[in-house]
Amino acid sequence: MSSVVSIVNTQAGNLYSLKASIERLGCAVEIADTPDQVRGERLVVPGQGHFGSVMQNLESNNWLPALQQWREDNKPLLGICVGMQIFFSGSDESPAASGLGWLKGRVERLAFPKQPMVGWAYCEFSHQDFRSGMPYFVNSYAVRESEQCIAKTAYGEAFCAAVKDNNLVGFQFHPEKSSQYGQALIQRALQL
């Protein structure tokens, strides 16, 4: 039986690549504009847009209580890039906006002279479910340290490439753009 995966539509860019990439894993994918459209047991918060505008969009479409409930129910939830960053309390990208505050830490601008970070970087995973490898990154901001960090990489300084807390998983990179390796990471994160 194929699983249904719902993608939260944060209205911040095309979801085409992400949808196609999950479909390649044999799942049915639905884009949900609002929480009442979610039919799947697995949820993905995509990785496009600014921290502040993503939070604003989630709030105006009633996603905040729904995401909170999803987390309390401990259902599989994957956040990608800014979709992972919102798990934390806030970001230097949008100082006025609050994040979900689920994980301790703050999103900060990376120190490397060339911004944004664009390209493939080695990530060393410390969690048995995931193997180390090179996914594709596009970001200028990241979380340096987190108690839930399960993978590290570096761009000017070391930062957290992935987090995991029960069934909550966050990737700072874009697994949907990371070829076969990324496909395997999505599969593990969503327990497909």
Partner 1 sequence: MIACDNQLTARIIPCLDVDNGRVVKGTNFINLRDMGDPVELATEYEKQGADEIIFLDITASSDNRPTALSNVTRIAQKLSIPFTVGGGLKSIDDVKAFLDAGADKVALNTTAVQNPNIINQVAEQYGSQCVVVAVDVNRPEQSVAPRIYIHGGRTLVQRPFYSWINEIQERGAGEILLTCMHRDGTGLGFDCELTGEIARNAKIQVIASGGAKNEEHFYDAFAAGADACLAAGMFHSGEYRIDQVKQYLKAKQINVRL
Residue 140 CB neighbours (<10 A): 16
Q: How far is the CB of 188 from partner 1 (least distance, A)?
A: 16
Closest separation in Å from C-beta 87 to partner 1 = 20
CB 58 within 8 A of CB 8: yes
Tell me the CA distances in angstroms from 18 to 6, 57, 102, 126, one per residue in order.
11, 19, 24, 25
Q: Which of 18, 24, 22, 17 is nearest to 5 (CA)?
A: 22
CB of 75 to partner 1, least distance (A): 26
How many CB atoms within 10 Å of residue 1?
A: 3
Q: How far is CA 162 from the centre of its chain?
A: 9
Of 70 and 159, which CB lies nearer to partner 1 in the complex structure?
Answer: 159
The residues that are catalytic are 81, 174, 176
Q: Taking the CA atoms of 63, 4, 49 and 82 in sequence, report the sign of the dihedral they define.
A: positive
Q: How far is CA 141 from the centre of its chain?
A: 13
Distance in Å, CB of 8 to partner 1, minimum: 18
Nearer to partner 1, 167 or 183 (CB): 183
Residues that bind partner 1 (CB under 8 A): 13-14, 16-17, 20-21, 24, 48-50, 112-124, 134, 136-140, 152-158, 174, 176-180, 182-183
Question: Minimal CA–CA distance to 45: which of 107, 100, 119?
Answer: 100
